[in-house]
Structure 1
Amino acid sequence: MARLLVRPGVDPDEPEVPVVTLVVDPDGPPGERAVARLGDYCYEGDGAFHLLPTDGWVEHALDGDRLEVAVAVYPFALGQVDVDASAFPGRSAVDPEAAMVLRAECAVDPEQYALTPPLTAVFTAGPDRAPDEVAADGDDWPIVLGLRPER
């Protein structure tokens, strides 16, 4: 199961700023494996792998103190990392062409969440590593998923 948290210390340039952080298991369920594989399709820069928002994005929904994060990816981008988009029948409400490959939720402090940038840092790690440990490590580059751009 993907693990979601909001924590500071993820961005070395702004260590005090909390970041929505998702930890996926590269050997886990299909959605986690798909998101982990996206790193092979991303471009590198500034100590992270970035997925272009024209290929996929993250959607955030806050309800009280519950944050839900959903990862939407276009079938073409999934195909570039040998992931069959038909394995993900759910579609994004924002753009029905995009497959919803993963959803995760957690309890958050709404005031802390309000300080987060409009992105999600995705790290890959097995269930044997604590999410805080993975995010604080500094050796692993995250996959950065932004919000879908406005049209």
Structure 2
Amino acid sequence: MARLYVRPGLNPDEPDAPAAVLVVDPDGTPGERALDRLGSYCYEGDGVFYLVQTDGWFEPSLEGDRLAISVAVYPVALEQVGVDPADFPDRSTVDPRAHLVLRAGTTVDPVLPAWFDEGLAVFTAGPGTPLEDLLASEDDWPIILAPPPEEIQDGDDE
């Protein structure tokens, strides 16, 4: 099962700012396996992999002290890594052409600053791997997902 964390200290430029980290199991749910595979489709840079907003994003929602994150991906990106979009019938509220491949949640301080623009770091690791080990490793590069695009481009991504 995917694990979602919100904690400070991940951004060296802003060590006190909270950041979101999602840990997925490469042998876990279909959504976790899809995110693991998307790593091979991302762009590499500065010790991370980037999934561009034109391919997918994360959708945060905060209700009281409960933070929920949904990951939306267009069918083209899923197909590029051998994942059938039909396996994910739920759709994004931002753009219904994008499929929701994973949802995760955690309890947070409801007075968090607006960190949602910073992105979501997604690590792949087995369920017994502590977050601190992932963060300390120079070999485990996260996938960085941006928040939803402000404007959705017209086009046929189905």
Structure 1 residues without counterparts, runs of 5 or longer: none
Identify the residue that residue 45 of structure 1 maps to in structure 2. 45
**Deviation for aligned residue 1:139:** 3.6
Give the number of equivalent residue pairs: 151
1:57 matches 2:62: no
Give distance in 1, aligned partners of 2:100 and 2:18.
Answer: 25
Question: Offset at 1:119?
Answer: 1.0
Superposed counterparts of 1:2-151, under 5 Å: 2-112=2-112, 114-115=114-115, 117-151=117-151
Distance 1:47 1:121 in 2: 12
User: Partner amino acid for 2:131?
Assistant: P
- RMSD over aligned CA atoms reads 1.6
Counterpart CA distance in 1 for 2:89 and 2:53 is 20
CA-CA distance at 1:128 after TM superposition: 1.2
1:84 and 1:132 mapped to 2: Cα distance? 33
Q: Is the 8 A contact 1:55 1:77 kept in 2?
A: yes
Deviating above 6 A after TM superposition, structure 1's stretches of 4 or more consecutive aligned residues are none
Alpha-carbon separation, structure 2, partners of 1:87 and 1:139: 31
Higher relative contact order (CA 8 A, sep 6+): 1
Q: Gaps (5+ residues) in structure 2? A: 152-158
1:129 offset after TM fit, Å?
Answer: 0.7
User: Is contact 2:60-2:116 (8 Å) kept?
Assistant: no
C-alpha deviation, 1:15, in angstroms: 3.4
TM-score where L is the length of structure 1: 0.92
Q: Report the structure number with the largest CA radius of gyration.
A: 2
